Amino acid sequence: MSAYRSAGTRAVLLVTAGILLTQCSTPPPAAEVVSPAEAAIAPLVSIRELMTYIIDPASDGVFDAVGADVTDAGVVETFPETDDDWAEVQRGALTMAEGMNLLRLPRRVAPADDNVAKNPGELPPAEVEAKIAASPELWASHIDRLQQEAMKVLDIVKARQGDQLFDAGSAIDAACEACHLDFWYPGDREAVERFNNSTTTFDPPAP
């Protein structure tokens, strides 16, 4: 009886296997099977879109974290206070740092349906692209620079050193501008340097 049962079970298994084999008789083409090692990272959006939707909003997480307002009571500085405030700074810094890696992947400069310079003084996307292709090391050095400045902010977050966010923000701003001046609006270099070197003085009115 037990022999019969086991034979019966085997028969059922064979039938099941037969059905499975029939169902699997048209396997997907081999090309669709991609091992993780072979999978390539394909860029989806342009540099312009990364800037507008990832890098620029991330930088605000650091830039907007501190403030200095001139009031009747003098200059009032504001710093991150709660854990949520600090998490926002951290989000911004690490999104910038890791987001820069996306610029190491060759990708189009602007979307296909918006492939023109938007403002006077800006190079058209085709020229930006040619510059990147001609100076890959310079391009990479700007990416490195912003990544290093953003990583410093992560240390500031860990140590909760709010007053250091002013200098860190300026260093990040300078890193953004340095890349833009080399690759996006090189004609503005002189004006930007004049502005950066200018000093503002304030003479309080005589009593």
Q: Output 55 or 65, the one with its CB closest to ligand HEC.
A: 55
Closest contact distance (angstroms) between CB of 52 and ligand HEC is: 4
**Burial track 163-177 (b if 16+ CB lie within 10 A, e otherwise):** ebbeebbebbeebbb
Q: Output 56 or 81, the one with its CB closest to ligand HEC.
A: 56
Closest contact distance (angstroms) between CB of 190 and ligand HEC is: 19
Closest contact distance (angstroms) between CB of 65 and ligand HEC is: 14
Footprint on this chain of ligand HEC (rule: CB under 6 A)? 47-48, 51-52, 55-56, 59, 96, 103, 109-110, 118, 125, 128, 139, 142-143, 146, 172, 175-176, 179-180, 183-184
Closest contact distance (angstroms) between CB of 62 and ligand HEC is: 8
Closest CA to 59 of 158, 161, 177: 177
Between the alpha carbon of residue 41 and those of residues 48, 112, 123, 139, the distances in Å are 19, 20, 28, 20
Q: Output 21 or 134, the one with its CB closest to ligand HEC.
A: 134
Closest contact distance (angstroms) between CB of 135 and ligand HEC is: 11
**Burial track 46-63 (b if 16+ CB lie within 10 A, e otherwise):** bbbbbbeebbeebbebbb
Q: Determine the Cα–Cα distance for residues 199 and 182; give it in Å rounded to an integer.
A: 24
Q: Output 10 or 118, the one with its CB closest to ligand HEC.
A: 118
Closest contact distance (angstroms) between CB of 120 and ligand HEC is: 13
Please state whether 46 falls in left (phi above 0), alpha (psi between -120 and 50) or beta. beta
Q: Output 55 or 165, the one with its CB closest to ligand HEC.
A: 55
Q: Output 39 or 116, the one with its CB closest to ligand HEC.
A: 116
Closest CA to 45 of 129, 103, 90: 103
